A = this chain, B = another copy of it.
Amino acid sequence: MTPENLVKQINFIKEIDKIKYIQRKTKLFNSDRNENDAEHSWHLAMMALVLAEHSNASIDLLKVIKMVLIHDIVEIDAGDTFIYDTQKNHSNTDEERLAAQRIFGLLPGEQAEEMIAIWEEFEAGETNEAKFARTMDRLEPLLQNTSNNGGTWNEFGVNYEKVHEKKSIMKEGSNTIWDFAEQLINESVEKGILKKG
């Protein structure tokens, strides 16, 4: 007899495979192939792992990694929302909350509650762990766009002011990484791959 917890966990493991089909707007580095949410989540986890020393505050790294690994699972039901979308607010929509209930709800009760709490903590962006995790989530597409001649900035007509505004929350997680990011943004303007105004 397979323990009930294991049966539930295996069902969850099968369900989350669907995240590999969720396409993001951003492309891989030096590439025209869209990134999917599983690849993105893996990359953020690796970034958290190697960049943790630059966090402004002391952080529980395992919690940060849990956050970035699971942060896009709700998109299996709710779909990817582009950060510069003006019609739809990215954060914690009703659709995403229902998705969290359904998908994490496949897990045993206590584990489901833990996952939902971690996802909500990430979305709220208030704890040190959430701030650092969100810094990772803002950094990856910046690196991708600068490697892709402006990438989604040019494709969707996003200007310097919007990028600077959306990216500046990175400083809540890491002043060091934000200084580096701001420099990349300024260089992108100088190179003409990000337009002002």
A residues near B, CB below 8 A?
Answer: 2-3, 5-6, 9-10, 12-14, 16-17, 20, 28-29, 35-36, 38-39, 41-43, 45-47, 49-51, 53-54, 61-62, 65-66, 69-70, 107, 111, 143, 147, 176-177, 179-180, 183
Cβ contacts A to B, 10 pairs, < 8 Å: A3-B176, A13-B43, A14-B147, A16-B46, A17-B28, A20-B39, A38-B39, A61-B62, A62-B65, A65-B65
Interface centre among A17, A28, A47 (most CB of B within 10 A): A17
Identity of the chain B residue whose Cβ is nearest the Cβ of A35 in the assembled complex: B20
| Alpha-carbon distance between A2 and B177 when the two chains are bound, in angstroms | 9
B43 touches A17 (CB 8 A): yes
| Alpha-carbon distance between A104 and B66 when the two chains are bound, in angstroms | 23
For A46, the chain B residues whose CB sits under 8 A away are 13, 16, 69-70
| Alpha-carbon distance between A147 and B10 when the two chains are bound, in angstroms | 12
For A54, the chain B residues whose CB sits under 8 A away are 3, 6
Identity of the chain B residue whose Cβ is nearest the Cβ of A66 in the assembled complex: B49
For A17, the chain B residues whose CB sits under 8 A away are 28-29, 43
For A6, the chain B residues whose CB sits under 8 A away are 51, 54, 176-177, 180
Given A45-B45, A46-B69, A50-B107, 19 extra CB contacts under 8 A: A3-B176, A6-B51, A6-B176, A10-B180, A12-B50, A13-B46, A16-B43, A16-B46, A17-B43, A38-B38, A38-B39, A39-B39, A42-B42, A42-B69, A45-B65, A49-B69, A50-B111, A62-B65, A65-B65
| Alpha-carbon distance between A101 and B147 when the two chains are bound, in angstroms | 25
